[in-house]
C-alpha cells in the first residue's frame, strides 16, 4: 500500500494527539482539523514539529 501522491489533513484530538487523516473525509468525533493539508511527507513534518508530547501511555 502506498500513500505517495495522496492528499491528507492533520487532525488533533482533545488529549493533544495528532493524526494524519485523508483530506476531504469527515473528521472523526473527538478530533478537529488543524488546518494543515498536504502530501504524506508534509503532514508528517507538521506532526513532528507540533506534537511535542509524543509519550506512550501504555507503559
CATH code, 15: 3.90.820.10
Asked whether residue 56 is domain-assigned, the answer is no
Q: Can you give the pLDDT at residue 1?
A: 46
Mean pLDDT by 10 residues, the chain (59 residues): 75 96 96 97 96 62
Q: Is residue 58 part of a domain?
A: no
Q: Is residue 3 part of a domain?
A: no
pLDDT at 7: 96
Residue 46 lies in a domain: yes
In a domain, 24, yes or no: yes
Residue 33 domain boundaries: 8-50
Q: What is the pTM of this model?
A: 0.80
3-19 burial, b at 16+ Cβ within 10 Å, e below that, comes to eeeeebbbbbeeeeebb
CA-wise closest residue to 49 among 57, 39, 41: 41
The pLDDT of residue 30: 98
pLDDT at 32: 98
Number of folded domains in the chain? Answer: 1
Amino acid at each position: 500500500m502506498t500513500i505517495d501522491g495522496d492528499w491528507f489533513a492533520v487532525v488533533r484530538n482533545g488529549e493533544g494527539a495528532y493524526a494524519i487523516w485523508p483530506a476531504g473525509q469527515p473528521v472523526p468525533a473527538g478530533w478537529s482539523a488543524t488546518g494543515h493539508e498536504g502530501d504524506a511527507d508534509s503532514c508528517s513534518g507538521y506532526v513532528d514539529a507540533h506534537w511535542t508530547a509524543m509519550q506512550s501511555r501504555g507503559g
